Chain A
Amino acid sequence: MGNAVAIIGSGQTKHGRRNDVTYPDLVREAVQAALENTGLTMDDVDGVVYGSMPSMMEGVAMTHFYFADALRTVGKPMMKTETCGTTGMSLAHTGYYWIASGLADVVMVVGSEKMYEGDSQATMSTVMEPYYLRSFLAGAPGIFAMQVHEWTARYNIPSEKARDAAAKISVDHHMDALDNPHAHIKVKLTMDDVRNSRVITYPFRLWDICPNSDGACAIILASAKKAKKMCKKPAWIKGIGFCGDEYWYGDSDKVSWKCAMEAVKQAYDMAGIKNPRKELDVAEVYNPFTFVELLHYECFGFCDPGEACDLALKGVFSRGGELPCDPSGGTLCTNPIGATALIRVAEAAMQVSGLAGDHQIPGANMAFAHGLGGLSEFNGIMILGSKL
């Protein structure tokens, strides 16, 4: 399918509350980090892809104009990809298609968000149309809480068990984030800390939910010929998938979740993966909410439907487990939305290139990255391998 494409490097900002920089400077920091990481200059780059969440987030519209200089795209071809929360994944896909089509050899892809400059939940409430959905969906926690209720009811998962499994995920990921120099929330938690934190939208408590973060991520993709020249350990794109569901929240089954299952099927088919739990070495699941991460394991075939809580409690998805998920700490600990899914891709690439530092999964050869977005209606996947 098209020409082979690899990720040859990436750069991330230090994510968190970044009052020390303006928004363009935040973007510049990630771009500079990616160039330093790859040793390339902009002369090597044929084009730039950029995207973020909607303009209401920071109060500047069509930020590709404002960031043209920070993105180092002046005089260069550019694309502007935005698909809501999946933006980061759609950005990576754009870079992939640009090179796989033969129209470019080296592309830089950048995503960013500066969430402390706006009101993210207010913005997300405007993703819902004003007549039927907006008045009751109440930002992202409202949407995903309903999905969790549908899931626990469908499989008769006792609420204590779901609670414990989600708490374990929170404890594990927050522990993982301590090893990730870019992560935002760095705190050591106990199961009781999570269980006893305040309710935001039932069943989500404070430590079940991702933060607002300021941050940016840049990755550089290259054709096979260029990748071999420019990089010692390229992360090869083995599979991609994207699928969109119904906009109207009540019209789709959010448990046997078609868009997640179809997106992952596209990616597995392309990568030739039959048994994901065995064949994948690490997964970066887009996990703004602990419970929803469990539901995704089932949709992605990491386990059977209704089985995720039991396996999570056994440590199957923890570091050292059979399929470690989000060793970076994931979205749960760092969430600059426009960059978040791209960070999943960058982290997965770092894992198969053996460059993930303290949160490296030893010997990872096949990694999975995921993005989630829209009105809980988009899932996007990218699978990366250490071998062409």
Chain B
Amino acid sequence: MTKKVAVVEVAQMPGAESSDNFLDQVYRVCKEVLDKAGVSREEVGTVVSASSDVFHGGISCANAYYWDSGAGFLKSGTRQDGESLLAFQYGVMRILTGHYDTALVFGVCKGSENPPNDEITHFFTDPFYQRQIGLNETYAAALQMREYLNTYKITEEQCAGVVVKNLGNALRNPYAHIRKKVTLDEVMKSKRIMAPLKKMECAPKSEGFVALLLASEKKAKKLTNNPVWFKGFGSSMDTFYLGDRNLLKGQLENAAKRAYSMAGIKNPRKEIQLAEVTEPYAFQELLWCEDLGFCDRGKGAKFLESGATQIDGDLPVNPSGGVLSTNAYVCRGLYRLAEVVLQIKRQAGERQVDRKIKTGLAHGTHGFAGQFHAVAILGS
């Protein structure tokens, strides 16, 4: 890959429930990112969005509905379903071919108009075997957590520590949905949703509107003096039935390997200075850190306890507050990416990490117990 692609600007909207009209929200976030970059709608080369037809308030073909609100009028565009980091990858691809020198990439999900997330994830099941037993994403995560606790002799308190850290970070993020200081005790005493998962260890249901403007190297240098560069991308899909999978060693390692190889990263623990991971369930942050090669297998909790992943640690994880604070299902990968961009640009406001970030990682996942994973690497 000889050509380079940059993220020029990002824009995001708060995760809290909003009475604003969905199309207005789409329009506003796209307009904001274009205004920041000083690019008119007419100048945008192509539009790649991410959304889902099930997390979409009962309207099918989501992208048809918001096409013109999302700057797509009379443009070439497309849409990725389920994982918004794929929209980022696709935007990068479109620029790399030379067809376009700018791409507007955005993810949208109006959580407040959707049923509870697990009513929707229940429909990921096949109609014959899994649906009857009521499997959904939380159910699958609970099974995964139980296995994690048993295999590595980790305690529930250690997992709950992730909530304290991430919601603590969210206090400094004006876009976060859940903003309240919590103690370990409160997390442990929150209602059991599906044993061993407790309510505060499960992500909320949020609004999500996030947009990025990507540009070719030449164009990016004209548009900003603070570009953030695309370095690598990897994704991987796991098999469908939970019983056929190793829930503690899924496809994230595989996806990360691909991204690291593209970015030329040999030792992620040393070479990556900041990570934003998708942790809809607290313990998953620990497990994903292991998969990403930040620590050894089974040592995720120790890694957290070492303080390394705190906002002032040497590898902050989820300084934005992560998905535990804001969970707009389809958009969560792009929200992670937007935070990495802001941190590298040193525009993350009160939650800005002190150290210089040369390389950052954004992770997205959806499906039961992380059936699909995507990893993007960005650099200064």
Contact = CB atoms under 8 A, between A and B. Distances in A.
B110 to A, nearest CB: 13
Given A64-B82, A100-B97, A126-B60, A74 B238 contact: yes
Contact of B78 (A2, A93, A127, A377): A93
B371 interface: yes
Given A244-B67, A244-B72, A56 B53 contact: yes
A68 B238 contact: yes
Contact of B98 (A1, A84, A123): A1
20 contacts: A3-B97, A55-B123, A60-B123, A62-B82, A64-B372, A74-B237, A74-B238, A77-B258, A80-B83, A81-B79, A82-B53, A82-B61, A83-B64, A100-B93, A127-B60, A244-B75, A247-B66, A263-B76, A375-B64, A377-B67
Given A54-B61, A61-B124, A244-B75, A80 B97 contact: no
B235 A83 contact: no
Given A1-B97, A243-B74, A101 B92 contact: yes
A73 interface: yes
Interface string A121-132: 001101111100
Interface string A73-97: 1111111111110000010011001
A74 B245 CA distance: 11
B53 A245 contact: no
Given A75-B237, A84-B61, A247 B67 contact: yes
Nearest to A78: B237
Interface residues of B, number: 62
A51 to B, nearest CB: 7
Interface residues of A, number: 67
Given A2-B97, A81-B78, A62 B366 contact: yes
Nearest to A128: B59
Contacts of A78: 235-237, 372
A374 B64 contact: yes
B234 interface: yes
Interface of B: 1, 52-54, 58-61, 63-69, 72-83, 86, 89-90, 92-94, 96-99, 120-121, 123-128, 233-240, 251, 254-255, 258, 366-368, 371-372
B78 A94 contact: yes
Interface of A: 1-3, 22, 24, 48, 51, 53-56, 59-62, 64-69, 73-84, 90, 93-94, 97-98, 100-103, 123-124, 126-130, 241-248, 258-259, 262-263, 266, 373-375, 377-378
A262 B74 contact: yes
A84 B64 contact: yes
B239 A2 contact: no
Contacts of B68: 244-248
B79 A59 contact: no
Contacts of A69: 239-240
Interface centre among A2, A51, A61, A69 (most CB of B within 10 A): A61
A106 to B, nearest CB: 15
A68 B74 contact: no
